[in-house]
Structure 1
Amino acid sequence: MQGKPPSASRITMSHFILPEDANPLGHGHGGVILKHIDTAAGMVAMRHMRGVAVTASIDRVDFIRPVFVGELVHLKANLNGVGKTSMEVGVRVEAENLYTGEIRYTNSAYLTFVALTSDGKPCDVPPLIPETPDDERRQLEAMERRQMRLTLRSRE
């Protein structure tokens, strides 16, 4: 199976936060932000696979800064690492105030996807070929997180 670099699947997606996306405080609802995180990550996984990939897990997500109604949310999603049938995608979320141009980091998440055949069985994932020192660092950190997840799962 031919390997692929992270740049072949990387995406940036933007979403305008409207009143229906808000919680009672007027902040972007966490569930709405999570939906967009999952969508962006899923597109990266499917681009790498050129097939079906489904969310298996989302690591801890902390909402560091709020997103406000009327702001543009940018989701930057990157494939960090692959296993035999799984992939880790990292998503960085930033909010942009359209009046001032200020861009704030709001949160990030790591999601694990499993590649599936058309009949729903796990299948092999193409290898990941790092291109830059950042890609290499992300791949190493993804392997460490994968080992941590497997260790935690074995204790359940």
Structure 2
Amino acid sequence: MALIDDTASIAVSRHCRIPTMTASTDSLDFLHPIYENDAVTVEAYVSGTGKKSMEVFVKVTGEVLDTGQHYLAATCFMTFVVVKTDETFTSVPTIIPESVEEKMIHKGYKKRRENRLRELSFNKELGRYISQQLPNLIEDDK
């Protein structure tokens, strides 16, 4: 999963050339096992942009080296946010999807963003009820 995050981070950096950080892993779906002697390729591109955020689509493909057969092993959507701006910053650059794949992925961006914002709101509310106490510590009653 670190390789997915690293690859997504590179795609974001190339797209906007300003400091960003991972805000969330929105979905990560494992579709096919990657076996020990298979080759792995991780590709990522920005699939949607807001004013200070970017959605990144990551695909992990495998290759059976003995046969040359390729397969889709995993897909992932992540969100990155701008962490530092100066007075000249207005928004991250928009994207223009080019391939059939990019157009299809970009087409669902607004709906995924709405879902992501709704889930973020829910998780913030849930956080109000989650204990901050460290586990397995014995309280001293003295």
TM-score category, normalised to shorter length: 0.7 to 0.9
Which of 66, 73, 78 is equivalent to 2:40? 73
SS in 2 for 1:84: coil
**1:154 offset after TM fit, Å?**
2.4
**1:148 offset after TM fit, Å?**
0.7
| Matches of 1:58 and 1:149, distance apart in 2 | 10
**1:56 offset after TM fit, Å?**
0.5
| Matches of 1:113 and 1:145, distance apart in 2 | 14
Which of 110, 119, 126 is equivalent to 1:152? 119
**1:151 offset after TM fit, Å?**
1.6
- 1:22-66, Cα deviation, whole Å (9 max, x unpaired): xxxxxxxxxxxx111111111010101112221100122222211
| Matches of 1:93 and 1:135, distance apart in 2 | 15
Gaps of 5+ in 1: 1-33
Which of 93, 106, 112 is equivalent to 2:60? 93
| TM-score, normalising length: structure 1 | 0.69
Instruction: Indicate the structure whose relative CO is greater, using CA pairs within 8 Å and at least 6 residues apart.
Output: 1
- 1:92-138, Cα deviation, whole Å (9 max, x unpaired): 1111111211111111000100122279xx97311223345544433
- The residue type equivalent to 1:96 in the other structure is E
Give the fraction of aligned pairs with identical amino acids, expressed as a percent. Answer: 36
Contact 1:115 1:124 in 2 (8 A): no
Gaps of 5+ in 2: 126-142
| Matches of 1:152 and 1:134, distance apart in 2 | 26
| TM-score, normalising length: structure 2 | 0.75
| Matches of 1:101 and 1:123, distance apart in 2 | 46
What is the aligned residue count? Answer: 121
SS in 2 for 1:127: coil
Q: Any residues of structure 2 matched to 1:47-58 within 5 Å, and which?
A: 47-58=14-25
SS in 2 for 1:89: strand
Runs of 4+ residues deviating >3 angstroms: 130-137
Q: Any residues of structure 2 matched to 1:1-156 within 5 Å, and which?
A: 34-117=1-84, 124-131=91-98, 134-155=101-122, 156=125
**1:86 offset after TM fit, Å?**
0.4
Once superposed, what is the RMSD of the aligned Cα atoms? 2.2
| Matches of 2:13 and 2:34, distance apart in 1 | 27
Contact 2:26 2:116 in 1 (8 A): no
